[in-house]
Amino acid sequence: MDEDVRRRERVSFPDISSRAYEHPVDRGALATLRTVPGFAQVLKALFGFFTERGLRLSALSSTIRVGPQQYPELDRLRDECAATLDLPTAPTLYVMRDPSPKAFTIGLDEPFIVLTTGLVEMADTEGLRFAIGHEMGHVLSGHAVYRTMMIHLVELQRSLSWNPISGIGLRAVLAALHEWFRKAELSCDRAGLLCGQDAAAALRLHIQLAGGIDPDTIDIPSFLRQAEEYEGVDDLRDSLLKLRSLETMTYPLAVVRAAELQKWAGSAEYRAMLAGEYPRRADDEPHSAWRDDIKAAARSYQASWSESTDPLTKVFADVGTAVTDVAGKVRDKFSNRGPASGNQSGTSGETAD
C-alpha cells in the first residue's frame, strides 16, 4: 500500500493517557516496586550520583544523533510517532553501533531514545515505526527513570559483588525492577502498535527478534504455538527452570511477547481505541491509588493463572486463592464486630479499599 495512503488511514490519539495502553500488571508491578524496602532511598541516592548531563554527553560523543540531515527516515518516523501519541515534544533519537538489534529509552529529566545499528539494519520501515513507537510509550509512561535506575544498579551490583551483605539488598530491588520492566515491555508493545496500527509489521519484528532471518519463511501458526507450548508445560522441573531463568531477565521472552501483543491486537479494547474511545490525560488523577493498580494486576495474574496448565503456576494460584479466602473471612469477621459492640453508626471496622 502507498505510504501516503497509509498515513491518511493511520489515526492519532490526542491527549491520550498512558493508562490507555499500559498492561495492568505493569502498573501493579510498579506500584509494588515503590513499596520494596529501601527503594526510595536507592532512587534518591542514584539521582545524586548520576546526572542527565553525563548520559547526554555519552550519547553525543559515541552515537549518531538523528535529524533531518542524519537518518532523515528515522527522523520522520520519530516525529510521526510522537504526534500519534500526542507527546509535547519528540524525544531526541540516537543510533548506536551495536550488531545486536535493540532499542532503549533512558534519562532522568529529558528521556532520549537509542536504536542500535543491528535493529536499524534488520527492520523494515514499519518495523522501525513499531520499535520507535514502543520507546515513545516508555517516554509517555515515565518508565525511563526506572530503566536508568536499573542500568546503574546492575553496574553497582557488579562492583559490590565482593560484599554479599550489600549485594543482598541490591538483588531484592533489582529483582523487583526486572519483574516490573518485563511487564512494562508488554505495555509499550501496545504503544508501538498504536503508532503503527499494523499488527503484521509488529509480528514480523518479533519474529526477527526471535531468530527469524526471513520472516516470510516462518510459519506464523507454528511460531505462535511455541508460546502455547511454553506456557503449557506439565513438568514441575520445567516450571522451576522457567522461574529461575526469569529472575534477572530484562525483556519478556520473544515468542511469548509476540503472542501477547497479537492477542491484544484482536481485542475489543484495541478496536475501541482506534475509534477514539480511550482514557485522556486530562482525566488522570495527580496520584492514582496504588491499591487500585495492585488489584488490577492481581486480576490480570489470576486470569493468566486460570488459563495456564503449568503445574507450578497452578500451585501459586491455589495458594493465592486460599490466602485470599482466609483474608476475606478475617476481614468479614472484624467488619461485623462494629454493630455488635454498640456502634450506632454501624461503620466500625469498615474501611475503604
Sequence ranges of the domains in the chain: 3-283
- Residue-level pLDDT at 94: 97
Over residues 125-165, the pLDDT tens digits come to: 999 999 999 999 999 988 877 777 766 666 665 555 544 44
- Residue-level pLDDT at 50: 59
Q: Helices in the chain by DSSP H: which ranges?
A: 3-9, 24-33, 39-49, 52-62, 72-84, 117-122, 125-141, 144-159, 164-196, 199-210, 220-231, 236-246, 254-265, 268-274, 290-307, 311-335, 337-340
Judge whether residue 167 has pLDDT over 70.
no
What is each CA distance from 219 to 215, 234, 255, in whole angstroms?
A: 8, 25, 13
C-alpha cell at 202: 509488529
Max mean pLDDT among 108-112, 175-179, 244-248 falls in: 108-112
Over residues 287-343, the pLDDT tens digits come to: 555 455 545 544 544 444 344 444 434 443 443 344 334 444 444 554 455 444 444
- Residue-level pLDDT at 17: 93
In this prediction, residue 36 has a pLDDT band, given cuts at 50, 70 and 90, of low
From CA 146, how far away is CA 186, in angstroms rounded? 16
- Residue-level pLDDT at 244: 46
- Average pLDDT (213-217) is 91
Residue with cell 520507535: 132
pTM (2 decimals)?
A: 0.72
- Average pLDDT (195-224) is 93
